[in-house]
Amino acid sequence: MLRADEDVALGPLNVAAGSIVRVRDADWLVTNASPTRDGLLVEVTGLSELVRDTRAAFYEHLDDIVPYDPRATTVRADDSPKYRRARLWLESILRRSPIPLGDGRLSVSTRMLSDPLDYQRSAVRKALSADNLRPRILLADTVGLGKTIEIGMILSELVRRGRGERILIVTPKHVLEQMQFEMWTRFALPFVRLDSVGIQRVRQKLPATRNPFSLYKRAIISMDTLKQERYLNHLRNQHWDAVVIDESHNLSGTSTQNNALARVLAPNTDALVLASATPHNGSKESFAELIRLLEPTAVSPSGDIDTHALERLVVRRHRYSPEVAREVGDDWAERMPLQHLLVDASPEADAVAQCRHDRAPDHTPRRKLTCR
């Protein structure tokens, strides 16, 4: 196993892209180093918690830049049973190595804690298809077909391809905990659940110049919290690798806060997944607004939707769809014919009905009754 000793300088500053340095009590990854009149200019990206993903630049003569020296690395033997620690380390490195973007095969989502259903896999393949410049899709399967599973599968594949480092999930408050639970237990994707109090604590923890949505790489927040106007400016300045918006039929009203939130998030993410069992409320304009969030060019200025783009951007199935029926046709319980059954009223119910009948329209009793 390897360990780099801290605070070991190399003498004259000798860093290059890929080096790790310590500046101002934080660790940074060097992205570029170029000589200037004021010495070496080192451009970096933050690694420590408080500066994670923050870009900065330091001059050699103005800051104390301490590189981590690879030559000071100490080699230690792995004394764990059957080299367990070394094997786990190698496995973690392999899992973090992205697979080629052009590889259309599903790599990890088929081995998660869920039943293998081909129609769900086809939705994931459509979302990751090379026909889409960016993974953007509306999951509009009917209730019970597993849209949450499809969301988890898409996110898992994006993470495996190195395109899911920063993920935001926006859901109604009543499904917030369930979505977080499903992502963790089925797909090993941890999300930090935040509310207004949680976001305020983050703002108190970070410097005033830091975006509060930059602290956690993967967060799940309710729509009611996030749509507040005080957060929109922070969201405009924050880029995400993937954004998921559940119950997206709530976004169709162009004058609502929900729609304003979606219009802020959609341009600031590479992948966008909308989910709704009822995406069309009968209004052409409302449905076009959902498609416009996914791909603005798919909707003409007159509001007409490109049918070819619609095939790429929307997945809509029900229990009788051929690919669904092949998988779960026998598992659906057939609805029984409607039956009208006459049930005799009890004496107590008859007494109440009679009591109401004997009252005048102004609710004053016509005659003396005893109602219990």
**39, 175: one domain:** no
Per-residue model confidence (pLDDT) at position 273: 97
User: Residue with structure tokens 């059954």?
Assistant: 341
Per-residue model confidence (pLDDT) at position 358: 57
Per-residue model confidence (pLDDT) at position 361: 53
Per-residue model confidence (pLDDT) at position 333: 66
Q: How far apart are CA 364 and CA 360, in angstroms?
A: 5
Residue 90 lies in a domain: no
Q: What are phi and psi of 96, to 5 degrees?
A: -85, -10
Q: How far apart are CA 325 and CA 322, in angstroms?
A: 5
DSSP characters for 50-91? GGTT-EEEEETTTS--EE--GGGEEE----SGGGHHHHHHHH
Residue 24 lies in a domain: yes
Per-residue model confidence (pLDDT) at position 153: 96
CB within 8 A of 316, min separation 6: which ones? Answer: 140, 141, 279
Residue 153 lies in a domain: yes
**296, 257: one domain:** yes
Residue 78 lies in a domain: no
Domain boundary among 55, 72, 89: 72
**308, 188: one domain:** yes
User: Residue with structure tokens 């998921």?
Assistant: 244
**180, 306: one domain:** yes
Per-residue model confidence (pLDDT) at position 72: 82
| Count of alpha carbons within 13 angstroms of residue 329, beta-carbon side | 8
CATH number of the domain encompassing residue 20? 2.30.30
Residue 247 lies in a domain: yes
**198, 307: one domain:** yes
User: Which helix H or strand E contains 35, and what residues bound it?
Assistant: strand 26-36
**Number of domains observed in the structure of the chain:** 3
**19, 117: one domain:** no
Domain boundary among 24, 53, 72: 72
Residue 84 lies in a domain: no
Q: For residue range 302-316, what is the model confidence (pLDDT) as tens digits?
A: 989 999 999 999 999
pTM assigned to the model: 0.76
**Which positions of the chain have pLDDT values less than 50?**
1-11, 366-369, 371-372
What is the rounded end-to-end Cα distance, in angstroms, of the chain? Answer: 82
**255, 365: one domain:** no
Residue 170 lies in a domain: yes
CATH number of the domain encompassing residue 226? 3.40.50.10810
Per-residue model confidence (pLDDT) at position 139: 97
Domain boundary among 45, 72, 99: 72
**145, 168: one domain:** yes
Residue 356 lies in a domain: yes
**325, 242: one domain:** yes
**361, 297: one domain:** no
Task: Give which of 269, 173, 180 is closest to 226, Cα–Cα.
Answer: 173
Q: What are phi and psi of 359, to 5 degrees?
A: -100, 145
**319, 352: one domain:** no
Structural domain boundaries enclosing 33: 2-72
Report yes or no: 283 and 252 within 8 Å, Cβ to Cβ: yes
Per-residue model confidence (pLDDT) at position 4: 43
**43, 157: one domain:** no
